[in-house]
Amino acid sequence: YNVALGNSGTLTLNTIGNYQSEAETSVFNSLNTQMEERFLWDASATWRDVEERYRVTLFMKNILNEYKRLGANSVAGLWNMTIYGRPRTYGLE
């Protein structure tokens, strides 16, 4: 969504959501390779000057602070390598 601010530039508001249902990451159907359903939500606000030479963005990712498995691989049934998503992050660019 873009908001014209006249001589002060523009403000762009953005949000995105991503839903994933339960999934299996391995053909062996191991307990530690199953991914739970999740909903990830990000948002940002970007200001640009009139000439679009400068911009400032305030952002937040994983607003709901979902801590879920993104991927996993069972290694010969002996151990499991798992990748988890990042926690809530925010910043200014």
Six-digit token pair at 71? 């991927």
- Residue indicated by tokens 């200001």: 47
Q: Is 70 helix (H, G, I), strand (E, B) or coil?
A: strand
Q: Count the neighbouring beta carbons within 10 Å of the beta carbon of residue 75.
A: 10
Please, what are the averages of pLDDT over each run of 10 residues along the chain (93 residues)? 95 96 77 83 97 96 90 77 90 98
pTM of the model as a whole: 0.79
- The whole-angstrom separation of Cα 70 and Cα 77 is 19
pLDDT at 71: 80
